[in-house]
Amino acid sequence: MTFKPHLATRRELLLGSGALFAWAYMPKLAQAEGRDPRLMVIVLRGALDGLATVAPFGDPDWVRLRGDQGLRLDGDNAALKLDTLFAINPAMPNFYRLYQAKQAAVVHAVASPYRERSHFDGQDVLESGVTAPGASDSGWLNRAWHALTPADQVTGRQAFAVGPITPLVARGPAPVMSWTPSKLQPASNDTMSRLLDLYRHTDPALGKALEERGALAAIAQGEAKGMTPAKVAATPGIPGAAVRAYFAESAGAAAKFMARADGPRVGALAFDGWDTHAQEGAAHGRLSALLGALDGAIGAIETGMGAAWKETAVVVVTEFGRTARINGTEGTDHGTATVALLAGGAIAGGRVIADWPGVSEAALYQARDLRPTTDLRAVLKGLLKDHLRADERALANVVFPGSIAVKPMTGLMA
């Protein structure tokens, strides 16, 4: 199969959720060490609120910053304590269980090199691995895999994909074949999110009307009726249920392919819908339901991988974070630093990795965002170098061009 570079249209970005792309070779150096590593990258499009995912409850300025809408260790929906500073959203019990088993970790206050607030440009920088949007039509994951010296081919097919559209992170010289699952993600949630983002800036009245009438409000309405996040996610007719089912099906199918002895070793999934400008609902509502869906996907990966889980690393990334403060519509706007989540039997887990900047007024980036203190490329380089044995020079010059000053983060792998 011949690879043809393809630049995604905005329409394709709206439709391209949930794609897995994988190459069926094991790295030669890893094979020589008697290992058979798997790496899965999950891209959350729309900008994840890292402070609502992993809250700094121990920061003395946390309560002042978010008040009753910040996650706390007490109450009916208490956050799950990770250490003396951080706690994870209660919608993520699978991740918390893996964290306790030292198979999951968090990198906080992390960001790509991008410092503006456009979803499309931020996603381009995140997935391409270069510092400027539109500068590359290939992705860092594809280039990393292509740069590895392959061992024997382990399947008759060079590559496969789950999903209709190839995300940028997986485009490049490594060829791709595709397969589309029987259940596609409902387009309404993400499409509505993108429309709301557009109309909030160009036609606020229409944006408000869409928000009140659209599918995004349904989860919040369910919560207003006293439904727990789990009940929302499990109730037919509420968007959270469909999203949760799609996340789990896509991730579980990907894991089953990657677990096979003759299956692929590297893949990428993209999940849309994380743009929470209004009615975010970190503890009760839309974000809680989305995090529950992501947590279910991680559980489905663990189950689907079976014995291969012990050699698996999963990394969850997003284009940027969200504002530190809650806005007037009980949501968050486009921000800067956020979290990267790591899971898998190959991860040296049970810890939150953070050069914590704090959330005091003086500490905020541009007086509004969590300040980035860790370059996301360092995290990704660390995984590629220590898990797949990618060459550090190739990482600095080919995979993440111009990043020689960004050293791979060490100690991520068990």
In this predicted structure, what is the pLDDT of residue 214?
A: 43
* Alpha carbon of residue 254 to chain centroid: 15
Which tokens in the block code for residue 370? 């969590």
pLDDT at 361 over 50: yes
Identify the band that residue 21 occupies on the pLDDT scale cut at 50, 70 and 90. Answer: low
In this predicted structure, what is the pLDDT of residue 26?
A: 72
Identify the band that residue 164 occupies on the pLDDT scale cut at 50, 70 and 90. Answer: low
Identify the band that residue 266 occupies on the pLDDT scale cut at 50, 70 and 90. Answer: confident
pLDDT at 67 over 50: yes
In this predicted structure, what is the pLDDT of residue 29?
A: 83
Calculate mean pLDDT across residues 157-185. Answer: 60
Residues of the chain with pLDDT > 90, as a percent, come to 58
pLDDT at 283 over 60: yes
Identify the band that residue 175 occupies on the pLDDT scale cut at 50, 70 and 90. Answer: low
Q: Mind listing the pLDDT tens digit for each residue in 128-144?
A: 999 999 999 999 998 99
Identify the band that residue 216 occupies on the pLDDT scale cut at 50, 70 and 90. Answer: very low
User: Residues 31, 36, 42, CA angle at the centre, nearest 5°?
Assistant: 130
CA distance 245 to 275: 20
Closest CA to 288 of 106, 91, 86, 63: 91
Q: In whole numbers, what is the pLDDT of the chain averaged over residues?
A: 82
In this predicted structure, what is the pLDDT of residue 20?
A: 52
Which tokens in the block code for residue 7? 């630049």
Closest CA to 278 of 69, 117, 79: 69
CA distance 160 to 375: 30
User: How big is the chain, counted in residues?
Assistant: 414
State which of 201-210, 267-276, 381-390 shows the largest mean pLDDT. Answer: 381-390
Residue 242 and residue 215 in contact, taking contact as beta carbons nearer than 8 Å: no
pLDDT at 231 over 60: no
- Which of 39-53, 87-101, 179-193, 342-356 is predicted with the least confidence, judged by mean pLDDT? 179-193
In terms of pLDDT, which residue wins out, 263 or 352? 352
CA distance 332 to 334: 7
pLDDT at 360 over 70: yes
Calculate mean pLDDT across residues 392-408. Answer: 97
Which tokens in the block code for residue 411? 């100690």
Calculate mean pLDDT across residues 15-21. Answer: 44
pLDDT at 235 over 70: no
In this predicted structure, what is the pLDDT of residue 22?
A: 55
In terms of pLDDT, which residue wins out, 361 or 226? 361
CA distance 375 to 130: 13
Q: Mind listing the pLDDT tens digit for each residue in 76-124?
A: 789 999 999 999 999 999 999 999 999 999 999 999 999 999 999 999 9
Identify the band that residue 244 occupies on the pLDDT scale cut at 50, 70 and 90. Answer: confident
